[in-house]
Structure 1
């Protein structure tokens, strides 16, 4: 697992440019390297927390997890936090449910089959809502024929049933030019959420003849590089690349609404605003350094500075924060007995 060390706070733009939102990032100036999930928690000199925390999952939640880990590391330099961007489903299947990680980030709720897989390995997921996202549809800056798209047009564009090859097949006012599509893989919670919100769970499914990637920067690069391209991804990645691609407003039948923190917060950007989660492994919360990091994340989930200004998501309300903290404290009590 490749690691990049990060000291202090880095700007959101520099962070995304440096990491590409993929791979693994090792955070905090640690003096102890951990061995496996939950990592040998102990107190160092002067009672300092130490140990390793392993996190995998959603590429959408990845930058938020990283921002929280950076700040936690400023106060707890002997805690080593490793974060991988694997997709929500990939994180559950390959890392969290097999017991290899302490947290799994997710841009959609854990699925029943994933809960069953976790249970088989004595892993108890503890759900914590950490922010709200506005899933964003982007096109090339030169695509002057479209500024707003309806839910039905999105459904036609991405449906596996008779998928269109040109823009004009979807809307006769659009040019007779070949479509080029970019989006997340089927291991991504963003992919799952798009199916739920746009295509329908009982529908024909998501078309597969598109450029699929877990690297959100690849979606930005692909759309930027082709005048006839379209793609979708989390709002945070668009917000840091607004000069490179154009976001489309979405019309759900009530008129065109642009994706923004304000419209997502107000519940106006439908149906593409969504909650974001991290799932803690209850058993790992028995380790004090893991429990303290989870508390730190939820305590700061209402932060305008971190969640909105730096990362690009809607912070939790005080009420939602309290609900998340109550669930967490109950899980910590169960874990620590």
Structure 2
């Protein structure tokens, strides 16, 4: 991994936690991050300097990677202002469709209805891969029974069936205590992905606490012995002293099992979607996305996700170059 000139791991994870509040609530409250770069060093002075502004929004899962990239980019282009909001994948696409952003971070593929709205708005876009994530199912450390769950058990736990479920409903040998649920909000791409591969489109348990703030989910599970939740792998790694990870069908999420796809079906790619016209007409936006693809893999590894193979970044850079 590169030795970052402007960024320490403490700064990376601190920024990641600050960005945890992600959803429609945070958007309404104006919760976004703007980074104005520090003065560049003498070594960088010889490099081409740009001026301008770049705006992005989207996934809280992707946010730790992008915020780390923003911090590093600030040291190379001191006159470019990068503003990154965290409204969740769905909320980010809403702003993208409205023409408010140059790029949109996503923890799922864009939906057909979102594509249609972009077409109607006359906005051409391109999907670029950024990293891998493994949605992590977590329980309270005092939970010594649900250490390994099957996909079918996860479905039985999380699907609404009209009654208050107890752990003993899943396995008679487990405690006769109500299950307490913590889930990402409906604007989250993590929610959408979990809905697709675990719930099969069924309703999530109605008693679940939903939040676009992943750190709130961490606190909820950490504070209740009977709680269960799920969110991106990086948030588990940052809080593994407070949580216990759950194996799914006997497989623990790790960098290796996420990258290989062995951690199925909860391994998934992460993306950044770019507005084609911004890549052509806004030199600062193009340069920032180019920097993201060149350095995002290292930053993904640094904050707890899994980088793509190098050839995937090379292909993405060629695709981006073709938009100019």
Q: Scaled by the length of structure 1, what TM-score is found? A: 0.85
* Partner residue, 1:233: 231
2:90 alignment partner, SS class: helix
Task: State the shift of 1:160 in Å.
Answer: 2.5
Is contact 2:13-2:64 (8 Å) kept? Answer: no
**Over 6 Å off, 4+ runs:** none
Pair 1:275 & 2:269 matched: yes
1:177 alignment partner, SS class: coil
Mean CA deviation greater in 228-237 or 78-87:
78-87
Change (3 A) 1:76 1:159: same
Unaligned 5+ segments in structure 1 are 1-6, 32-43, 333-337
Task: State the shift of 1:16 in Å.
Answer: 3.6
Task: State the shift of 1:258 in Å.
Answer: 0.5
Change (3 A) 1:129 1:52: same
* Partner residue, 1:207: 205
Pick from 291, 302, 307: which aligns with 2:300? 307
Measure, in 1, the Cα distance between the counterparts of 2:19 and 2:194: 25
Is contact 1:136-1:232 (8 Å) kept? Answer: yes
Measure, in 2, the Cα distance between the counterparts of 1:17 and 1:289: 27
Task: State the shift of 1:45 in Å.
Answer: 11
1:117 alignment partner, SS class: helix
Task: State the shift of 1:149 in Å.
Answer: 0.7
* Partner residue, 2:286: 291
Mean CA deviation greater in 190-199 or 19-28:
19-28
Task: State the shift of 1:29 in Å.
Answer: 2.2
Change (3 A) 1:302 1:16: closer
Task: State the shift of 1:164 in Å.
Answer: 4.7
* Partner residue, 2:92: 91
What are the residue-to-residue correspondences of 1:162-181 with 2, within 5 Å? 162=162, 164-181=164-181
Q: Provide, for residues 207-227 of structure 1, a one-character-per-residue CA deviation record: whole Å limited to 9, x for no partner.
A: 332100010000000000000
* Partner residue, 2:256: 262
Measure, in 1, the Cα distance between the counterparts of 2:17 and 2:117: 35
Unaligned 5+ segments in structure 2 are 23-30, 40-44
Change (3 A) 1:46 1:234: closer
Measure, in 1, the Cα distance between the counterparts of 2:61 and 2:295: 18
Is contact 1:28-1:74 (8 Å) kept? Answer: no
Q: Provide, for residues 125-144 of structure 1, a one-character-per-residue CA deviation record: whole Å limited to 9, x for no partner.
A: 21001000010000001001
Measure, in 2, the Cα distance between the counterparts of 1:113 and 1:45: 46
Measure, in 1, the Cα distance between the counterparts of 2:92 and 2:17: 23
What are the residue-to-residue correspondences of 1:1-337 with 2, within 5 Å? 8-10=6-8, 11=10, 12-22=12-22, 23-29=31-37, 48-93=49-94, 95-162=95-162, 164-201=164-201, 204-251=202-249, 256-285=250-279, 286-303=281-298, 306-308=299-301, 310-332=302-324
Change (3 A) 1:192 1:119: same
Is contact 1:61-1:107 (8 Å) kept? Answer: yes
RMSD over aligned Cα atoms: 2.0
Task: State the shift of 1:319 in Å.
Answer: 2.3
Give the total of aligned pairs: 304
Greater relative CO (CA pairs within 8 A, separation 6+): 2
Q: Scaled by the length of structure 2, what TM-score is found? A: 0.89
* Partner residue, 2:26: none
